[in-house]
Amino acid sequence: MKNKTMQEMNEQYKDCPTTQRECVVEGSRFIVISHFVGSKDINSVIQKYAMKRALEDTLGRSAIKSRPAE
Protein backbone atom coordinates (compact mmCIF):
# COMPACT_ATOMS: atom_id res chain seq x y z
CA MET A 1 0.00 0.00 0.00
CA LYS A 2 1.36 3.41 -1.00
CA ASN A 3 2.00 5.97 1.73
CA LYS A 4 -0.03 9.09 1.06
CA THR A 5 1.40 12.57 1.04
CA MET A 6 0.03 15.21 3.39
CA GLN A 7 -1.65 16.93 0.43
CA GLU A 8 -3.39 13.70 -0.61
CA MET A 9 -4.64 13.10 2.93
CA ASN A 10 -5.85 16.71 3.22
CA GLU A 11 -7.85 16.28 0.02
CA GLN A 12 -9.25 12.88 1.06
CA TYR A 13 -10.39 14.03 4.53
CA LYS A 14 -11.31 17.67 3.79
CA ASP A 15 -15.04 17.06 4.42
CA CYS A 16 -14.57 15.18 7.71
CA PRO A 17 -15.27 16.91 11.04
CA THR A 18 -12.22 18.52 12.64
CA THR A 19 -11.11 20.10 15.88
CA GLN A 20 -8.32 22.60 16.28
CA ARG A 21 -6.28 23.44 19.35
CA GLU A 22 -3.16 25.37 20.12
CA CYS A 23 -0.26 23.89 22.08
CA VAL A 24 2.88 25.61 23.34
CA VAL A 25 5.93 23.38 23.72
CA GLU A 26 9.11 24.92 25.10
CA GLY A 27 8.04 28.35 23.87
CA SER A 28 7.08 27.23 20.35
CA ARG A 29 3.44 27.56 19.33
CA PHE A 30 1.86 24.66 17.43
CA ILE A 31 -1.65 24.37 16.01
CA VAL A 32 -2.96 20.81 15.98
CA ILE A 33 -5.86 19.96 13.68
CA SER A 34 -7.50 16.57 14.25
CA HIS A 35 -9.57 15.02 11.47
CA PHE A 36 -12.26 12.54 12.50
CA VAL A 37 -12.35 9.96 9.75
CA GLY A 38 -14.14 7.13 11.58
CA SER A 39 -11.38 4.57 11.18
CA LYS A 40 -10.85 3.76 14.88
CA ASP A 41 -12.47 0.87 16.69
CA ILE A 42 -14.77 2.78 19.05
CA ASN A 43 -15.04 -0.15 21.47
CA SER A 44 -11.27 -0.23 21.90
CA VAL A 45 -11.09 3.54 22.36
CA ILE A 46 -13.84 3.55 25.02
CA GLN A 47 -12.31 0.56 26.84
CA LYS A 48 -8.87 2.24 27.01
CA TYR A 49 -10.43 5.49 28.21
CA ALA A 50 -12.49 3.67 30.87
CA MET A 51 -9.45 1.75 32.14
CA LYS A 52 -7.35 4.92 32.32
CA ARG A 53 -10.13 6.75 34.13
CA ALA A 54 -10.62 3.88 36.61
CA LEU A 55 -6.89 3.81 37.37
CA GLU A 56 -6.83 7.57 37.83
CA ASP A 57 -9.76 7.40 40.22
CA THR A 58 -8.24 4.49 42.15
CA LEU A 59 -4.54 5.39 42.24
CA GLY A 60 -4.70 9.14 41.84
CA ARG A 61 -3.80 11.22 38.84
CA SER A 62 -0.10 11.51 39.69
CA ALA A 63 0.35 7.73 39.47
CA ILE A 64 -1.01 7.66 35.91
CA LYS A 65 0.96 10.67 34.64
CA SER A 66 4.25 9.10 35.67
CA ARG A 67 3.67 5.98 33.52
CA PRO A 68 5.36 5.89 30.12
CA ALA A 69 3.15 6.34 27.05
CA GLU A 70 1.91 3.21 25.28
pLDDT at 43: 85
- pLDDT on residue 65: 56
Do both 19 and 48 map to the same domain? Answer: no
Claim to verify: residue 14 and residue 32 sit in the same structural domain: yes
| E strand spans, 1-70 | 18-25, 28-35
Number of domains composing the chain? 2
In terms of residue numbers, what domain contains 50?
Answer: 40-70
- Evaluate the CA torsion angle 1, 47, 53, 70 in order and state its sign: negative
Q: Are residues 12 and 26 in the same domain?
A: yes
Encode pLDDT of 5-55 as tens digits: 888 888 888 888 888 999 898 899 999 888 788 777 878 888 998 999 998
Q: What pLDDT score was predicted for residue 31?
A: 92
> Which pLDDT band, with edges at 50, 70 and 90, does 68 fall under?
low
- Same structural domain for residues 19 and 50? no
